[in-house]
Amino acid sequence: MSEGTSMLAELLTAGEVVVLSGAGISTESGIPDYRGPSGSLKRRTPMTYQAFVGDAAARRRYWARSYVGWRAMTRAAPNSGHHAVAHLQRRGLVAGVVTQNVDGLHQAGGARAVIELHGSLHHVVCLSCGDSTSREELDRRLTEANPQFGARATAVNPDGDVELGDAEADAFQMVGCRACDGGVLKPDVVFFGETVPVERVRECFALVERARLLLVLGSSLTVLSGRRFVLHAAKLGIPVAIVNQGPTRGDRYATLAIDAPLSTVLPELIRLVDV
């Protein structure tokens, strides 16, 4: 038993814990994080909102890659980290979850009261009329439009994008919104360069303000999108605990920072709180 995990178990016992999770919690499910040891940013720059909206060719290539990546994402299963968060909720210790991930694995692992800060790959929105549909429905339409498309993923990113040659991607056939007859479709996720909806941010702040502990799991807190909740908790005097493989930009604000894989810390933490 590590001293850090024992200290974390003590912090958890008061309950009213809010979990802030990042891509690192899904690496054991086969989805690499952005900046950790398997970080996808080392391979390529993710799609930006500006490129998606302003460049039809870039948009086609994105949907081709995402079409392939969707299959990898749907095969991903919740791991011990997701199950641990759900278990702590059932124990009445975790009051809510804010996740920066778009993979839906927290919910698949049994968690509830999950706020998806950056949206969900399981939904698609029309940029023209605002109509929302399921990713499953879009996938069926894309399959019908691309019966000969047989590209396979070489590496999937946390946003569901994959590595794919331009020649393969350029042959991909797009489909438009059915509700408004051809509007541009976009996964209902926050791309790099796009802002998180204001009401969603306010909901997250309100959840943090009611917390007795903010527990960060698998996030380097490099971008302000997630780090602002750590800053807010610290400003209010709410303890912050961080478990991440590698240093984070929130360590200086943390009551406790554990540099270790979640797959090592969280199962041990569950054993301690279940005693």
- Which residues make up each annotated binding site for NAD(+)? 22-42, 100-103, 218-220, 244-246, 262
Q: Which of 184, 147, 169, 217 is nearest to 69 (CA)?
A: 169
**Binding site for Zn(2+): which residues?**
126, 129, 177, 180
Among candidate residues 212, 237, 265, the one with its CA nearest the CA of residue 18: 212
Cα–Cα dist 103/155, whole Å: 15
Please confirm, yes or no, whether 83 is among the known catalytic residues: no
Nearest CA among 82, 175, 95 for reference residue 133:
175
Report the alpha-carbon distance of residue 128 to residue 138 in Å, rounded: 16
Residue 178 CA: distances (Å) to CA of 64, 86, 107, 184: 19, 37, 29, 10
Which residue, 12, 32, 8, 7, is CA-closest to 211? 12
User: What would the DSSP string read from start to end of 142-165?
Assistant: HHHH-TT-----S-B-TTS-B---
* Active-site choice (82, 87, 106, 118): 118
Torsion, Cα of 252, 113, 41, 59 (10° steps): -140
DSSP state for residue 192 in the 8-state scheme: B
User: What residues act catalytically?
Assistant: 118
